[in-house]
Amino acid sequence: MDIPISITQFAKQPKFLPVNKIVRSKDFRVKHLTENAMISENDETITPSNFGTVLDYMIRCILLAGKHTFDLANIMLKRYLDQGLISIDDTAEIIGKEEQLNQIPNRISSVDDIPDEAFRLEMDICAWEIAYRTNKYVEPMNYPDEITIQHLKQMMKRTENFFNEYGWPTRDAFGASTKNGLYFR
């Protein structure tokens, strides 16, 4: 599957988004801050970029149960397989990890129930999306530790609260909108 337009290209064409339905960051107000409201990247065992990618994948896979969650990773995985850079066994291993993650929404009742291993599996899959964006696969060297996993879960809960307040996304590809017609950028 080829993606016809990148997120960057999409964002540079604001005519796709009706101005009266865009939620800008200045429209949000902090209701309250708790002592653990700020998450320091100094406590993380993975880079901020990897943290964001893992968080994005976990939200799409677990909270949204998205059908297209792994599309970009799989495009690159297939390219490497077709070029003989990885074996069919390596490909099957990654696909197996994706299948494991896809089963999690059926087995949990809250974000706190997500097994720690899911975040580690996600790092292996995210490496393939990063390869798609950078055109070079780099095997993960560091995986989320217990503190990083707690921070990821905290961010997932914040996202879930946001969706509960403003509406859940109705599409999970490059355009994001909610049931009440709001678009996000």
pLDDT tens column, 69-85: 898 899 999 999 999 99
pLDDT at 139: 92
The yes-or-no verdict on residue 183 having pLDDT over 60 is: no
Q: Report if pTM > 0.85.
A: no
114: DSSP letter: S
CA–CA separation, 14 and 72 (whole Å): 23
6 three-class SS: coil
Please calculate the CA angle 72-47-140 and round it to the nearest 5 degrees. Answer: 60
Instruction: Tell me what the mean pLDDT of segment 165-183 comes to.
Output: 63
Give the alpha-carbon dihedral of 84, 119, 50, 26, to 10 degrees: 140
**How does pLDDT run across 6-43, given as a tens digit for each residue?**
656 666 666 655 555 566 777 777 766 565 666 777 77
**How does pLDDT run across 79-136, given as a tens digit for each residue?**
999 999 999 999 999 999 999 999 999 899 999 999 999 999 999 999 998 998 888 9
| Tokens linked to 170 | 């109705």
CB 94 within 8 A of CB 21: no
